[in-house]
Amino acid sequence: MKKFNLILLTIISSALLAIPQPPDLGVGSYILYEPTTKKILVSYNENDQVEPASLTKLMTSYVVADYIKEGFVSLDDDPRISVKAWKAPGSRMFIREGTNVKVSDLIKGMIIQSGNDASIALAEHVAGSEDNFVLLMNDYAAELGMVNTSFNNSTGLPDPLNLTTAKDLALLTSAIIKNFPSHYKNYSQKSFTYAGITQPNRNRLLWRDEIFDGVKTGFTSNAGYCLVGSASRGDMRLVAVVLGSEDEKRFNDVSALMSYGFKYFVTEKKVAKNTSLKEMKVVAGVSDLVNLGIDEDIILTLQKDQKDSLSYEIVAPTEVLAPVTKGEIAGTLRVIDEEGKIVEEKALLYLESVDELGFFQRIIAILWNWIKSLFT
């Protein structure tokens, strides 16, 4: 039978300090989300379904970016503009029927100018029709875990089947930032000129503070004024979603959430991958010891007063019989907060392989190890 031990690597105690309650925005729903650790820092009605308005274009943007990444669409493509795209109501980049417009310009028109005409043109170029494109949008939403979202157009124009939530929009925005960093840079551009018409980015946060680098505004009479914003400070990024607010207030709301998050929380790497956390005895191996570690960094978002109040536990056998294969599971690493709650758990792996000794040396080593165990 294998002997197991539990090792307490580090523990630092400190008094748990109370932090102020998060801002009460007084709007329909909102969320403050840390995408690296997938932690919700603040939320209110985050799973309530509402109309997304032009925030729908975030999904249109995501689908287009993925089709470009996979090589099905090029930024240099210049699709011919249809009557449907040309006649799109609401905000527009003012493309004309029968002209050819580069995909790169259509993307900027959709993101920066919130052009409904650009959204339809992109949808038709990717999928042949907007209806076909909507099927893709819903498939991608399902893949991203947007369980309370459905789309029925590419623009966000009023439609009872266009529904989403603050949480789902946070997931989508986080995926855009992570999966398509070059594409995401379009969201920080402050203006775009097409056909001699210059339009500013609707996201006024870009002018407020350099930490903001996106993402999108939206408005319909049913949805109210909506905003998804993202900002980074140091190694920490936050995504804030505010739905059902008022015009100027939505920018203040997102700013308030960001200020709260950056002031009271921090995201840090607590344990590095491929770093030896423990040496385990190897019986009958060409080496007497093998290092144990993890294959992914442990990164946590914590209250600033709690970041140095964690303990780390290793549960693993005291020894292993050779041969040992690199990457196989050796035990478990647990990160525990000062209240005794496990906040992260990872498989502990062998960081290198250890070959077994030759036949006779192996027998002798096993016998000798057994004899020693009788006296310990």
User: So which residues are the catalytic ones?
Assistant: 54, 57, 114
- Cα 58 to Cα 184, 227, 228, 264, distances in angstroms: 10, 11, 10, 29
Rounded CA-CA distance 311/6 in Å is 12
- The answer to whether the bond into 215 is cis (omega within 30° of 0) is yes
Q: Residue 120: CB partners within 8 Å, gap ≥ 6?
A: 82, 84, 85, 88, 130, 154, 155
Residues 111, 33, 19, CA angle at the centre, nearest 5°? Answer: 140
Amino acid in the structure at residue 80:
R
Positive or negative: CA dihedral 146, 149, 151, 157: negative
Amino acid in the structure at residue 76:
D
Residue 119 tokens, joined: 């959204």
- Cα 50 to Cα 46, 47, 166, 167, distances in angstroms: 10, 9, 9, 11
Residue 97 tokens, joined: 């029927």
Rounded CA-CA distance 375/291 in Å is 26
Half-sphere exposure of 355 (CA within 13 A, CB side): 5
Rounded CA-CA distance 313/184 in Å is 39
Q: Strands 278-283, 319-321: parallel, antiparallel or unpaired by DSSP?
A: parallel
Which H/E stretch holds residue 59?
helix 56-69
